[in-house]
Amino acid sequence: MSALLEVKGLRTAFETRAGSVCAVDGVDVEVHQGECLGIVGESGSGKSVTFASVMGLVRAPGRITAGEIHFDGRDLRKLSRKELRAVRGRDIAMTMQDALTALNPALTIGVQLAEVLEAHDETLPKGRKARARAIRERSVEMLGLVGIPSAGSRLSQYPHEFSGGMRQRIMIAIALACRPKLLIADEPTTALDVTIQAQVLELISDIRAKLGMSVVLITHDLGVVAEHCDRVMVMYAGQVVEEGPTAEVIGSPSHPYTRGLLGSIPRLSLRGQPIHPIEGQVPDLIDLPPQCRFYSRCAERTDACLTPIPVRQVGPHRKARCIIAGEDTE
């Protein structure tokens, strides 16, 4: 069965004063029907830009310079702007990290919900009154779905009148209003308290089960991925460095970076023992040398790593961009 979303060789670059920065450098992604894919990486790894590119939201000075993006059988890069707008919000939806800035402070949430319905929903009646009523009904329904009580009276309120957790739910409600096939959740929990985080993630899982939706969870938090994602993809410096079923990748990571990430998580079971952060820093993305990008921070590097490293199959469903992966025994 072909994947719902297939990205091949995506390259997105930004022109800056200092030169061209390739934020996404040759990335392949596959998202299958009904699955939850986790994307893990630190800031600057290219994880957000990858999916902004998929949705066509990359603006100057950035642009997609290479690659294919196939969604539901269609090549998104070949679509006109109008056609792409029809896909956005209806078939693919996105939520952003901070709901406070993502929601327009000057518009009521009712208006912001209604907008997406007006833009995409063909099933709405044509007459003004009937249409307005239908939109209101659907809005209340969506807010109920995300767990906001007495939604009817709250449609006329402004974003700043809600708590952080509720705003996130509202954002999710807006994203899901047209029952998209794919939800891209960009750092859905980063701006929230720990307790709310769990609620929001539960919510996403529930809805995913109900609607049969595919989800891409972009995060830097491995714990989130471990709990909610079927597969995980690790990104570093604009490239995919590891990919596979969550349990396997977390259980026995292949790439030294992944291992470093897992090793640096403080754990109660290891209380009293030193934490091992990954030494060094992410390389400057301008003028990268043609070699493994993790080289300068890798404890297991060899001279053979000074050439461009391709992605290799290291297991039945697992890939890693490392020469020595799969050869080590833990």
Partner 1 sequence: MGLGKFLERVLQLVPVLLGVSVIVFIMIALTPGDPVQIMIGDQAITPEQEAALRRDLGLDRPMYERFFLFVGNAVQGDFGQSFYHRRPVSEVIAERLPATIELSLVALLIALFTSIPLGVLAAIRKNSIFDRIATVISLLGVSLPGFWFGILLLMLFAVHLNILPVAGRIGYSSEIEPITHFLLIDTLLRGRPDAFLDALSHIILPAVTLGLPMTAILMRVTRSSMLEVLQQDYVTFAEAKGLSRRRVLFRHALKNALIPTVSVAAIETGSLLGGNMIVETVFGWPGLGRLVVESIFLRNYPLVQAAVLLYAVTYVLLNFFADILYTVLNPKVKL
Partner 2 sequence: MTNVADMSRPPETIFQQNLGNFMRNRLAVASSAVVILFILLAIFAPLIAPHDPNATDLFRRLQPPAWVEGGEWSYLLGCDQLGRDILSRIIYGARISIFIGAAVILVATTIGIIAGLSAGYLRGWVDVVISRIVDILLGFPYLIFAIGLMAMMGPGLINIILALAYKEWVIPCRVVRGETLATRELEYIEAARALGASRRHIMVKEILPNILSPVIVVSTIRMAHVIILEASLSFLGLGVQPPTASWGSMVSDGRAFILESWWVSTFPGLAILLLVLAINVAGQGLRDAFDPRFHE
Residues that bind partner 1 (CB under 8 A): 55, 57, 60, 81, 85-90, 93-94, 96, 98, 101-107, 115-116, 119-120, 158, 160, 171, 174-175
Kindly report the number of other CB atoms within 10 A of residue 272's CB atom.
4
Cβ-based nearer residue to partner 1, 55 or 222: 55
CB of 208 to partner 1, least distance (A): 19
Cβ-based nearer residue to partner 1, 120 or 318: 120
Site residues for partner 2 per CB under 8 A:
17-18, 280-281, 283-284, 296
Contact 26, 7 (CB under 8 A): no
Q: Pairing relation of β-strands 36-40 and 214-219? A: parallel
* Residue 109: φ, ψ to 5°: -70, -30
Cβ-based nearer residue to partner 1, 32 or 85: 85
CB of 125 to partner 1, least distance (A): 21
> Among partner 2, partner 1, none, what does residue 126 contact (CB within 5–8 Å per kind)?
none
* Residue 328: φ, ψ to 5°: -85, 150
DSSP conformation letters of 156-179: TS-GGGS-HHHHHHHHHHHHHTT-
The gap from C-alpha 100 to its chain's centroid, in whole angstroms, comes to 19
> Among partner 2, partner 1, none, what does residue 102 contact (CB within 5–8 Å per kind)?
partner 1
> Among partner 1, partner 2, none, what does residue 160 contact (CB within 5–8 Å per kind)?
partner 1
> Among partner 2, partner 1, none, what does residue 83 contact (CB within 5–8 Å per kind)?
none
Q: List, as own/partner pairs, every contact residues 139-143 make where C-beta atoms lie below 8 angstroms and the sequence separation is at least 24, other chains included.
A: 139/110, 139/113, 139/114, 139/177, 142/113, 142/173, 142/174, 142/176, 142/177, 143/113, 143/169, 143/170, 143/173
SS3 108: coil
> Among partner 2, partner 1, none, what does residue 106 contact (CB within 5–8 Å per kind)?
partner 1
CB of 153 to partner 1, least distance (A): 19
> Among partner 1, partner 2, none, what does residue 86 contact (CB within 5–8 Å per kind)?
partner 1
Contact 252, 330 (CB under 8 A): yes
Contact 201, 188 (CB under 8 A): yes
| H or E element that contains 153 | helix 151-154
The torsion defined by the Cα of 313, 218, 149 and 141, in degrees rounded to 10, comes to -60
CB of 2 to partner 1, least distance (A): 24
CB of 283 to partner 2, least distance (A): 5
CB of 106 to partner 1, least distance (A): 4
Contact 228, 201 (CB under 8 A): yes
Cα–Cα distance, 245 to 297 (Å, whole number) = 25
> Among partner 1, partner 2, none, what does residue 116 contact (CB within 5–8 Å per kind)?
partner 1
Kindly report the number of other CB atoms within 10 A of residue 319's CB atom.
21
> Among partner 1, partner 2, none, what does residue 151 contact (CB within 5–8 Å per kind)?
none
CB of 18 to partner 2, least distance (A): 6
19-31, strands of its sheet edge to edge: 19-31, 5-16, 62-71, 74-75
Cβ-based nearer residue to partner 2, 202 or 287: 287
CB of 38 to partner 2, least distance (A): 29
